[in-house]
Amino acid sequence: MVIVQASLVPMSPPHHSSTMQGINLDGLPNNQIKLTNVSIVRLRKGGKRFEIACYKNKVMEWRNGVEKDLGEVMQIDNVFLNVSKGQAANKDDLMKCFKTDSQNDIILEILKKGELQVGERERSSMLEGMYRDIATTVAEKCVNPETKRPYTVTMIEKAMADLHLSVNPSRSVKSQALDVIKQLLEKKTIPIARAQMRVRVIVPSKDGKRIKERLMAMIASKEDEDLGENYEWICLIDPGQFRAVNELLQSETKGKGQLEMLSLMETKQGDETF
């Protein structure tokens, strides 16, 4: 629970109606408000410490892209020097340190870059949840290249544990999942590869031979080839190559080439087992 001295907050009332949920005035002096279910995010900038009051669990949901509504994240739409003392940051401090006095812009920067202040039990629970989410993301994106079958989340968690990987709460689940994939590939802890995307490539016949050599260097494998009126290939590519292949086609055919996604992830049915 955090007690905020309301008289020390000279800012205008919050513009999101939902931001006042969880504030309870009952049984407190008139100049105080009680914030429940609160998490504080702190950022040091320009020699000063700035804080915002958020709902528990919502900060990580916002950072991971699950929560989009800022009003569901913020308890109070205000920037503080000290939340627990109710000491709001004045416009001069904000302008000096952030080069703007826009509360919304500053709140977004603190949310993105600030350190989330949590208790030991809450932190442990949060890290366990992120660890599971990272493993889930890796399992969704990868397969055993020898069998083409996806790994279970539990198997990915075990592989992560073997690498002694830790969770960084200030980074998104997606970025950490990509790092995990990279390390699993480098350390060869388990046979793993990105699940491949099946695509159809169509180019005018006059461009086919010229493009083919460069295209073959960018794909994982070619499943079918049709050299009719147009050159057409059915290929498997790494999802990360989709944009590069498309840019190649557009630049080399003056916009006449086509790239169609036939299936997002090419895998065999059933989970991998050890």
Write down how long the chain is.
274
Q: Range(s) for CATH 1.10.10.900 in the chain?
A: 120-193
Q: Range(s) for CATH 3.30.1250.10 in the chain?
A: 2-116
Q: How would residue 266 be classed by pLDDT, with cut points 50, 70 and 90? A: low
More confident residue, 77 or 18: 77
Q: Which of 35-39, 61-65, 112-116, 256-260 has the lowest mean pLDDT?
A: 35-39
Is domain 196-266 in CATH 3.30.70.240, yes or no? yes
How many alpha carbons fall within 13 Å on the CB side of residue 198?
Answer: 8
State the pLDDT at residue 262. Answer: 86
State the pLDDT at residue 255. Answer: 86
As a CATH number, domain 2-116 is 3.30.1250.10
Tens digits of residue pLDDT in 119-141:
777 778 888 999 999 999 999 88
State the pLDDT at residue 190. Answer: 94
Tens digits of residue pLDDT in 217-246:
888 888 888 888 888 989 888 887 889 999
Q: Range(s) for CATH 3.30.70.240 in the chain?
A: 196-266
Q: Which CATH superfamily is domain 120-193 in?
A: SBDS protein C-terminal domain, subdomain 1 (1.10.10.900)
| Percentage, residues of the chain above pLDDT 70 | 82
Instruction: Flag whether the pTM goes above 0.85.
Output: no
Q: Return d(Cα 52, Cα 106) in angstroms, integer.
A: 10
**Arithmetic mean of pLDDT over the chain:** 82
State the pLDDT at residue 151. Answer: 92
Indicate whether 3 pLDDT > 70. no
More confident residue, 62 or 169: 62
Indicate whether 24 pLDDT > 50. no
Tens digits of residue pLDDT in 159-204:
999 999 889 887 889 899 999 999 999 999 899 988 888 899 999 8
How do 193-194 and 23-24 pair as beta strands? unpaired
